[in-house]
Structure 1
Amino acid sequence: MHHLGATRSAHRRDHLLHTPDAFIRIPLPGLTLGSAIVHAAPAIGAAFTQYTVELQVGGKLADSGLPGVQRFVFVQSGTVDLASEAAFRSLPATGFCFVPADVAHTLTATEAAVLQVIDKPFTGLEGAAATRIVTGVESQIPGMPLGDDPDLLVRAMMPAGGEYDFAVNTMSYAPGASLAQVEVHVMEHGLMMLEGGGIYRLNDAWYPVAAGDFIWMGPYCPQWFGAIGKTQAKYLIYKDFNRHPLA
C-alpha cells in the first residue's frame, strides 16, 4: 500500500528512529539464504554497526572478515548453530553469543531465524581484548531491578571486565513503568524494541515506539522511555563501555 510519503521514521543529528515501514533489505558479504536490514553504521556517525539478519532454513552468516571486529548476536526468533574452531553451540530463541575479534565463525539457521547482530572494533584497554566465545540464553538470566524499581528489570548478557568494551542488555518494563530520569551521557546506544511499546524522548522530540522499531542514540542525546499499554515493553540495548572517551 502506498502511504503518500508518510513514515514514522525520523533522522536527526543525534538520533535515528528506524521503523519497519522504511526498512530496506540488502545482501551482505558472508550472508547466504538471507537478507540484512542495516540500522546503525559509521555512515550515520555510529562507532558500531547493528543490523537485523533474516535467515531461511540453512541460511548462513559468516564473520565479517574485517580485522579487529568483535561480534554480538541475539537470536530474536528461530534457532541457529554457532560454529568456530573452538566451539559449537546451538542457540535457541533469546540465545546469544559474543565472538571476539579475528575469530572465524559461522551461524547457520536450523529453522527460519531472525538475528540482531552488532559488529564493533575493539577500542577498550590496550592489550586487554577478550579471547573467548561467550554464549547464553537471555530468558534464563534473572532480571535485576534498575534503581530498586521492581517494574523495570535488566538482564545483562555481556561479562563485566576491561576486556569487554561494550554491554548488551535487555530491559523489561511493566505497563506504566518508566526510566526514573532523562539520561544524558557520553555512551551511544543501539536499541531494538522486542515487545510492547511506549513513548521515547530523544533530544527534544517525543516518539511513539512499538515492537520492531530500532533507535540509535548518539553521545549526549537526551533520552527517556515510558511504557504504555496493557503488556510489558521490552528492548535490547547496546552501549559502548569500559573504554576511554578519547578512544
Structure 2
Amino acid sequence: MSAPIALTIAGSDSSGGAGIQADIKAMSALGVYAASVITALTAQNTCKVHSIFPVSTDFIQDQLYTVFEDLNVKAIKIGMLGTPDIISSVADVLKHYPQIPVVLDPVMVAKSGDKLLQDDAVASLKENLLPLAEIITPNLPEAAVLTGKKEPTSIQEMKDMLAALQVISPKAILLKGGHLDGDKSDDLLFDGQNEICLSSERINTKNSHGTGCTLSAAIASGIAKGFSLLEAVNAAKEYLTEALRHADHLEIGKGHGPVHHFHANWKV
C-alpha cells in the first residue's frame, strides 16, 4: 500500500487541539500520511496561549528540504507562521516546488483570542505566500485584515469581498462564513472561474478549537488523494461538520475544547 502524503507547515499546540497536532489527526483520520514542519512551539491550552517560541528560519528550511528530498508530497497545508522572516523563508523553499498544491490557512488569532501572527507579518504573507497558494481559507476577520476592508456581516458582503481577495490570491479562495449568525454555516468557494456557496449545518458547541486548522488540513488531504478542488472542499466540510457534531463527546480542558477528529473511529 502506498499512502498519499500531505505535509503540514504550522505551529505546535501543546494542548493538541489545533496546529500541527490537529493537522496530523485530520490527515490520519482521512487516510493520508502526514509529514510535518514545525514553525513555532506554543505553550497553550483550551483557555489561552501562554507563550510562543518561533523556530529558527534555518531549521525550518532544513526541515522542508529534508522532507522534500525523500517523501513524495502530494499536497501542502500551511498554518501558523508568525513572523515575516518565517513567512519569507518558507516561501523561498516552496518556490522550488511549484508542482505541489498549497492550501494556505492565514492563521492570525487563536480560538482564545490570542494573536498568533505579528502585525508586520501580514504584508509579508500577502507578498510572498498568498500568490503561491492553490487555495486560501480565511475566515471573515482574517479576510478583513488581508484586504483592509470591513468584516462582512452577510453573504452578499462576503461575495463583495471576493474581488479584493482575488487581487492578492489569484487562484482559489474559500471564504469561511462561520462568524455570521444563523443556523447555517455558509462558505463561499471561488475556484478561479465560479462562485459556489457551500452550506452546512451550524453545530452548537463551544468545543471548536482547531476548526480552521482541521478544515484546511482536510482539504489538503483530499487534494493529496487526487480529488478535484470542489470535491476536496466538500469532503473537508462534511468531515469537519461531523467532527464538530461529536465534539461534546470529548471532555478536554476548561475552555474551548477540540473537535473530535476521530469521531468515525472511536466508540465513545
The two structures have a TM-score, normalised by structure 1, of: 0.35
- Give the structure with the larger helix fraction: 2
- Give the structure with the larger strand fraction: 1
The two structures have a TM-score, normalised by structure 2, of: 0.33
